[in-house]
Structure 1
Amino acid sequence: MDEKITVSDRRIFNSYLEAGVRILCILNALSPKGLDFESLIKTDYVLVNSNDFSGPKSLHSKLPNRKGELVTRRESIRQGLELMRRFGLVSVILSQEGAVYYTTEKTKPYLKLMVTTYSKELQIVALWLSKEINTNSFHRIDELLKQVVYS
């Protein structure tokens, strides 16, 4: 039997693959800087809910219970990071401060292959977020998260 597998059969939305690609976009936009795991969780949340943070149109729909997403995305980020590391798209450097994740030389060519509207918007929002972080550091992100998530 010759069965065809469609994209919808692979359940990409909210998968480890999607989380890993979002991480790649964040790290690529911040490169050559890297981020620790906790910062990746925060930036991923802001990335998909950017409109809540005075940024571009949010990538994901506004869900009523999305405040809990910050906690629930921990495992998908962990698995997404591991997947991207196995593909050679993310490296990790251990230091006394902990593990910091960086892009590799394979990251940019991989992201250039992403041509869907969602992929392009993802990279645009990641650039906006990197400018926010580079201009205001994580202090502003943390303050905004407190207002949006914990209010």
Structure 2
Amino acid sequence: MNKLELINSPLETALRIIIILSILRQEIPTLDEIVMLDYYVLHANDFDPALESIHPDIPNRENELLIRRKLVIEGLRILESRSLIKINYTKTGIRYCTNELSNQVVKYLESPYSSKVTRNISESSTKSFDEIMLSVRKLITEDSNIWINKL
């Protein structure tokens, strides 16, 4: 796999997911919530000016939410195939959390990229999980520009 194949790949997404889940240990999010958390981490500056976004501020970036779900599903499949996540079947839906193995893997991630992901979700931890979810939902539902071409 070359460097370009890793960008926006299921593997890159899987690594972000285990970092996010390991930091938010007290929360056990659903697939939709993981999609929103992933978007939040990648575009953190859209929600908190003190944070640096990982992905560039391109026009129409909000539309990533429409395609991010597929990448998150593929990333979760990678993590599940390697026993790096725990899947919880609950009355409120299917929820995902880390396990001891994934927490150990996260400790060994030392790249600048993983540091940025960690920083964005850690510094956001001053907000509650519900506040983060609300801010992404607000972007989706209240920003009519998300559905209009901004070019």
Instruction: Quickly name the TM-score band, shorter chain normalised.
Output: 0.7 to 0.9
Equivalent residue number for residue 25 of structure 2:
31
Q: Distance in 2 between matches of 1:50 and 1:8?
A: 24
1:34/1:100 contact within 8 Å kept: yes
| 1:12 and 2:6 are equivalent in the alignment | yes
Task: Quote how far apart the aligned CAs of 1:16 are.
Answer: 0.3
Cα pair 2:27 2:129 within 8 Å, conserved: no
What per-residue deviation string (whole Å, max 9, x for no partner) do you get for residues 24-80 of structure 1? 111111103210011111111111000011151001111213121000111110000
Matches within 5 A, 1:15-94: 15-54=9-48, 55-94=50-89
Q: Does 1:136 align with 2:131?
A: yes
Q: Is the 8 A contact 2:87 2:95 kept in 1?
A: yes
**Could you tell me which amino acid in structure 2 is paired with residue 107 of structure 1?**
S
Distance 1:138 1:74 in 2: 15
3-state SS of the aligned residue for 2:12?
Answer: helix
Unaligned runs of 5+ in 2: none
Task: Give the Cα separation in 2 of the matches to 1:145 and 1:56.
Answer: 20
CA RMSD, Structure 1 to Structure 2 (Å): 2.1
Alpha-carbon distance change, 12 to 60 in structure 1, aligned in 2, over 3 angstroms: same
Q: Tell me how far 1:132 sits from its aligned partner.
A: 2.0
The question of whether the paired residues in 1 share the 8 Å contact of 2:87 and 2:94 is answered with yes
If the length of structure 1 is used for normalisation, what is the TM-score?
Answer: 0.85
Write out per-residue CA displacement over residues 94-123 of structure 1, whole angstroms, 9 at most, x where no aligned residue.
Answer: 011110000000122111211111111111
Pairing partner for 2:146 from 138, 145, 150: 150
- Gap runs ≥5 in structure 1: none
- Alpha-carbon deviation of 1:147? 4.8
